[in-house]
Structure 1
Amino acid sequence: MAAPGLFTKTERYNSAKSLVCLLQAMAGRPTIIELRNELTVCGTVAMVDSNMNVTLTKSTLRKLNDESVEYEQLFIHGNQIRYVQMPDDFNVSVLLERQVKGLLGGGEVTKRKRMSRARLNRQLEEKAIVRAYKLGKGRATNT
């Protein structure tokens, strides 16, 4: 599971609203990633960010001519990924639910209520009055 402290609130929200969280749930598990340039990478998923950039550890890059190159750590840009193979024992529904709860802090995805312009102006006026009262040391002044 991706550590919620590593990402901003917006990144966690965007990850939870897409299938990137499924790839993030694979952290610590071995996988095979096929790239757009026909290369294949086998390795253990270390970290996945909200843009689907993947960091693999103990990875092997297989070229078209079956030549292999081993890397201790490998970074793959998300836009270069064509396909990610999931392990057979990977329970998608359970891990996906657990990952979304972890990204959103255990809560449901909530939409922000839109505030009417009149209510927003009223709140801004109230804040201005309070600020003026504090600056005037007990005297409310109109500005």
Structure 2
Amino acid sequence: MEKMFVGSSKEKFYYHNTLLCLVRALEGKNITIDLRNDSYICGCITTVDGFMNVSFANAVYCDPQGNEFQFENIFVQGRNIRYVHVPETMSMLTIIKNELTGHKRRVPDKKLIQKSRKAKKALRQHMETVASLDL
């Protein structure tokens, strides 16, 4: 199943040039995210946008004092995230490769271009010159 990334050009840049693609690949999985205020949230990630804003479903928020609060849905701004815990059973390199290979632009097969006689002759001469060099 290919997920198509939809967003502004700035969001697409972040997606392809940061580890945002790793976090986005964790959608649908139960993950723990540490926040900047020393609290954390555990739950199922439903969506991640191009600025790493994360939405959780069936989440538990634990504040710095240790109090726990349950939420059906909770939204966390990307700037408040300190750390995303990736499960040890998941290979980060594999996740990133799988996430990004599904989003490469598909280049249609180009027809073979017939080279002119002049271009073929120049290529043949070049190959002969290279073959005659003593390496």
For residues 23 and 41 of structure 1, the distance between their equivalents in structure 2, rounded to whole angstroms, comes to 15
Q: Deviations over 1:12-49 (max 9, x none)?
A: 34301110000001011111111001111001111111
Whether 2:17 is the aligned partner of 1:22: answer no
Give 2:67's aligned residue.
67
Per the normalisation by structure 2, the TM-score is: 0.70
For residues 71 and 41 of structure 2, the distance between their equivalents in structure 1, rounded to whole angstroms, comes to 10
Give 1:134's aligned residue.
none
Identity, in percent, stands at 25
For residues 21 and 2 of structure 2, the distance between their equivalents in structure 1, rounded to whole angstroms, comes to 8
Stretches of structure 2 lacking an aligned partner (at least 5 in a row): 108-135
CA RMSD of aligned residues (A): 2.1
Give 1:80's aligned residue.
80
SS where residue 103 of structure 1 aligns? coil
* Structure 1 residue ranges, 4+ long, deviating more than 6 angstroms after superposition: none
Stretches of structure 1 lacking an aligned partner (at least 5 in a row): 108-143
Aligned length: 107
Q: Deviations over 1:30-85 (max 9, x none)?
A: 11111001111001111111111011111000012211100111110000001111
SS where residue 102 of structure 2 aligns? helix
SS where residue 73 of structure 1 aligns? strand
The answer to whether the 8 A contact 1:2-1:48 is kept is no
The answer to whether the 8 A contact 2:30-2:44 is kept is yes
